[in-house]
Structure formats: structure tokens, C-alpha cells
């Protein structure tokens, strides 16, 4: 993640010619207007448009649509460059578009990356094989328990079909519980995984006797999407602008999140963040 953020912040500094084509951004409004140079002023989004224009050195045009489905159809057709989306509007055009950003709520920890570990001797090799398995958690709470289970649910595993939950009360104890057979699978967030399985000594492998059978994040309900064939430099520039917007341009951030209350920031997402595996 650190390398990824360094890359996108470096890419934002890439020079863009003044004659570059405008970036057309879809917004959902009561009455569809299409792409309109004056729409930013009409909607109170001048600070937003000016911030993106300054950062990209390209004209910014807002394009009004009656709903996300219409905006996503326009994105798939190449009529706009960025669109709000949800699962219903994303799936019909999934082959042509991808998610790049999602809003992080002020009320949660965000999309926590989590993993599932089993012993190497275990016959379980995928999340779907965890039905009936006794899960071990380091602790209760959103990051250690709730978010990882939401990620498993998005991967197609119903948490209600897991076995009795074991709360170890500590990272080392959780690993001992897995190795001793007290539980069948250790489910933990990526931060704790790093502490458990990474060593400063190059020849030391603390988790050599364990295997990872899943890693993932909870699916998102809404995201910002672009075409899959968007040039990577423009995609990374847009990502870097949005993830820093709450700090660099609060007024622009307010407009960008007007349709999604209680947003703390934007986070980068994987391409299929809106998809839940069934």
C-alpha cells in the first residue's frame, strides 16, 4: 500500500498539455442535463471543478444524469470519464468499467483487509470449505472480527454457517489455538497478520507451518468508476486527487460527498470492489 500511494502521488505531478481533452464527470441530479459547462456553478460545485482542473491541468465538465444506471451506461459508452456507481448499475457494464474509489464512513474503520489461515495439514483450501469450521479471532470488535467476517461474506461464505467462535485474547494465543487444533481457522486483519508472520530475519518464517486460504475486503455498496481502458496515468492521478481531497480541498470534498453523508475520506479500491461472490 505504501508503494502504491507513493506511485499515485508521484504520477499526479506528471505534466499534462493544456490542450488535453476535458475530463467529464457524471453526477446524479433530479433532472438529467447531459454534459454542461455551467452545471458546476448551478450545482454549487465550482470549488470541486476548479480543484480537479488545477490538479489535472485539464478542463472539468460535469454531466448530469437522472440515476447511476444512466451514468454508468454513459461511462461504458465513453461519453464520460468518471461516474458514481453501485452494484446494480455496475454489473450490466462490468466488462467495460472498473471501480477505483470508495467512500470511507466516519462511523467505521473502512474496508479492512483480512486473511484466513489454516495449518498446512488442513484439507481446507478455500473460503467455501470453511462451513462448520471453528474460527479463531484475536479479539472482538470491528477490525478484529466484524470487518473480516464481512469480507468473508463478500467472498461467498456465510459467517452464520461457521462453527463456534473462539476469541483468543491475544495474537500469540490465537496462533497457539490454531496449531493445537482448538480451532480450525485463524481469521485476522492484515495488520495483525504482519506482526504474526513477518520477521526482520530473512531466513526466519514464523508461519511456515500455516497456509493462507483467503484474503479480501468487504464489498462496497457504492464506488466511483472509470472505464477499464482509461490510461493508467490519468486513473492514478484521479485516485490521488480524491484520496487527499478531504485535506487539500475541503469545499471540493463536501461537494464530492454530497450524495453520501458521513464520509471521512475516499479510499482506493480494487477493480471488482462492488462485486460479491455468490
Domain shared by 125 and 174, yes or no: yes
- Is there a domain that residue 273 lies in? no
Q: CB–CB of 154/182 below 8 Å? A: no
Domain shared by 149 and 212, yes or no: yes
| Average pLDDT rounded to a whole number, residues 75-98 | 97
Q: Which of 196, 216, 236 is the last residue of a domain?
A: 216
Domain shared by 73 and 27, yes or no: yes
Domain shared by 42 and 21, yes or no: yes
- Is there a domain that residue 32 lies in? yes
CATH number of the domain that 162 lies in? 3.40.190.10
Domain shared by 96 and 234, yes or no: yes
Q: Is the pLDDT of residue 155 over 70?
A: yes
Domain total of the chain: 2
pLDDT one-digit tens code per residue, 209-261:
999 999 999 889 999 999 999 999 999 999 999 999 999 999 999 999 998 87
Domain shared by 100 and 225, yes or no: yes
The residue segments making up the domain with residue 195 are 114-216
Q: Which of 216, 231, 250 is the last residue of a domain?
A: 216
pLDDT at 10 (0 to 100): 52
Domain shared by 192 and 224, yes or no: no
Share of the chain above pLDDT 70, in %: 92
Please report which confidence band the pLDDT of residue 7 belongs to, taking 50, 70 and 90 as the band edges: low
Q: Which of 175, 196, 216 is the last residue of a domain?
A: 216
- Is there a domain that residue 278 lies in? no
Cα–Cα distance, 256 to 251 (Å, whole number) = 9
Domain shared by 24 and 155, yes or no: no
pLDDT at 17 (0 to 100): 44
Q: CB–CB of 146/217 below 8 Å? A: no
Q: CB–CB of 165/135 below 8 Å? A: yes
pLDDT one-digit tens code per residue, 50-62:
999 999 999 999 9
Nearest to 118 by CA among 51, 56, 59, 175: 175
Domain shared by 120 and 244, yes or no: no
Q: Is the pLDDT of residue 15 over 50?
A: no
Report H helices in the chain: 2-11, 39-43, 46-56, 68-76, 87-90, 147-154, 171-180, 190-197, 232-248, 250-256
- Is there a domain that residue 260 lies in? yes
Domain shared by 23 and 43, yes or no: yes
Domain shared by 134 and 200, yes or no: yes
- Is there a domain that residue 119 lies in? yes
- Is there a domain that residue 78 lies in? yes
The least confident of 98-102, 104-108, 267-271 is 104-108
pLDDT at 16 (0 to 100): 43
Report H helices in 80-183: 87-90, 147-154, 171-180
- Is there a domain that residue 74 lies in? yes
Q: Mean pLDDT for the chain?
A: 92
Domain shared by 210 and 228, yes or no: no
The CB-side HSE value for 119 (13 A sphere, CA atoms) comes to 14
Question: What is the residue-wise DSSP string for 236-262?
Answer: HHHHHHHHHHHHH-HHHHHHHTTTS-S
Q: Is the pLDDT of residue 86 over 50?
A: yes
- Is there a domain that residue 62 lies in? yes
Cα–Cα distance, 77 to 233 (Å, whole number) = 21
Q: What is the pTM of this model?
A: 0.78
pLDDT at 41 (0 to 100): 96
pLDDT one-digit tens code per residue, 162-195:
999 999 999 999 999 999 999 999 999 999 999 9
Amino acid at each position: 500500500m505504501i508503494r502504491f500511494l507513493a506511485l499515485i502521488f508521484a504520477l499526479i505531478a506528471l505534466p499534462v498539455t493544456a490542450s488535453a481533452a476535458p475530463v467529464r464527470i457524471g453526477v446524479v441530479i433530479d433532472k438529467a442535463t447531459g454534459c454542461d459547462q455551467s452545471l458546476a456553478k448551478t450545482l454549487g460545485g465550482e470549488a470541486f471543478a476548479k480543484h480537479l482542473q488545477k490538479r489535472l491541468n485539464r478542463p472539468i465538465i460535469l454531466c448530469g444524469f437522472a440515476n447511476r444506471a444512466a451514468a454508468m451506461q454513459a461511462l461504458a459508452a465513453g461519453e464520460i470519464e468518471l461516474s458514481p456507481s453501485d452494484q446494480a448499475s455496475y454489473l450490466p457494464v462490468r466488462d467495460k468499467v472498473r471501480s477505483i474509489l470508495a467512500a470511507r464512513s466516519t462511523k467505521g474503520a473502512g474496508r479492512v483487509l483480512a486473511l484466513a489461515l489454516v495449518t498446512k495439514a488442513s484439507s481446507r483450501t478455500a473460503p467455501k470449505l470453511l462451513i462448520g469450521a471453528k474460527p479463531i479471532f484475536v479479539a472482538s470488535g470491528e477490525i478484529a472480527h466484524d470487518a473480516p467476517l464481512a469480507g468473508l461474506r463478500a467472498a461467498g461464505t456465510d459467517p452464520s454457517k461457521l462453527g463456534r467462535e473462539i476469541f483468543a485474547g491475544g495474537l500469540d494465543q490465537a496462533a497457539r489455538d490454531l496449531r493445537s487444533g482448538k480451532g480450525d481457522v485463524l481469521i485476522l486483519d492484515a495488520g495483525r497478520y504482519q506482526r504474526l508472520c513477518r520477521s526482520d530475519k530473512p531466513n526466519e518464517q514464523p508461519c511456515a507451518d500455516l497456509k493462507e486460504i483467503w484474503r479480501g475486503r468487504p464489498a462496497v455498496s457504492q464506488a466511483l468508476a472509470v472505464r477499464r481502458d482509461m490510461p493508467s496515468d490519468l486513473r492514478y492521478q484521479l485516485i490521488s486527487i480524491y484520496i487527499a481531497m478531504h485535506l487539500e480541498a475541503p469545499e471540493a470534498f463536501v461537494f464530492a460527498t454530497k450524495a453520501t453523508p458521513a464520509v471521512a475520506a475516499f479510499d482506493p479500491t480494487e477493480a471488482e470492489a462492488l462485486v460479491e461472490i455468490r
